[in-house]
Amino acid sequence: MKKLMKGGRFTPENYSAEVEERIQKYRKLDYRLPPRKILRTPEQIEGIRKSAVINTGVLDYVTENIREGMSTEEIDQLVYNFTIEHGAIPAPLNYEGFPKSVCTSINEVVCHGIPNKNVILRSGDIVNVDVSTIFEGYFSDASRMFMIGEVSPEKKKLVKVTQECLEIGIAAAQPWARLGDVGAAIQEHAEKNGYGVVRDLCGHGVGVHFHEEPNVEHFGRRGTGTIILPGMTFTIEPMINMGTYKVFINKSDGWTVLTEDGMPSAQWEKMLLITETGNEVLTY
- Distance between CA atoms of residues 24 and 229, nearest Å: 12
Q: What is the DSSP letter of 272?
A: E
Q: Which of 38, 48, 52, 103 binds ligand MF3 (CB under 6 A)?
A: 103
Binding mask 257-276 for ligand MF3 (x = CB under 6 A): ------------x-------
Given ligand MF3, Co ion, none, residue 49, with its beta carbon under 5 to 8 Å by kind, binds: none
74 interacts with ligand MF3 by CB under 6 A: no
Q: Report DSSP letters for 12-29, one per residue.
A: BTTS-HHHHHHHHHHHHT
CA distance 83 to 93: 12
| Residues contacting residue 53 through CB under 8 Å, at least 6 positions apart | none
The site partner of 176 among ligand MF3, Co ion, none (C-beta below 5 to 8 Å per kind) is none
Cβ-based nearer residue to Co ion, 15 or 76: 76
DSSP string spanning 101-147? SSEEEETTEEE-PPP-TT-B--TT-EEEEEEEEEETTEEEEEEEEEE
Contact 217, 202 (CB under 8 A): yes
Q: Is 101 in the site for ligand MF3 (CB under 6 A)?
A: no
CB of 237 vs ligand MF3, minimal distance in Å: 5
Task: Find, among 144, 179, 159, 167, the residue nearest to 240 by Cα.
Answer: 159
Burial class (CB in 10 A: 0-12, 13-18, 19+), 21: exposed
Binding of residue 76 to ligand MF3 (CB under 6 A): no
Residues 6+ positions from 227 with CB-CB distance below 8 Å: 26, 31, 32, 33, 34, 176, 177, 178
Which of 19/52 has CB closer to ligand MF3?
52
Choose between 103 and 121: whose C-beta lies nearer to ligand MF3. Answer: 103
* 108 in contact with Co ion (CB under 5 A): no
217 binds ligand MF3 (CB under 6 A): no
Does 98 sit near ligand MF3 (CB under 6 A)? yes
Region binding Co ion by CB under 5 A among candidate stretches 121-129, 180-188, 237-245, 251-259:
237-245
CB-based contact 266:278 (threshold 8 Å): no
Closest distance of CB 111 from Co ion, Å: 9
125 binds Co ion, rule: CB under 5 A: no
Q: Which residues bind Co ion (CB under 5 A)?
A: 141, 235, 237
Q: Which residues bind ligand MF3 (CB under 6 A)?
A: 92, 95-96, 98, 103, 112, 130, 132, 141, 237, 269
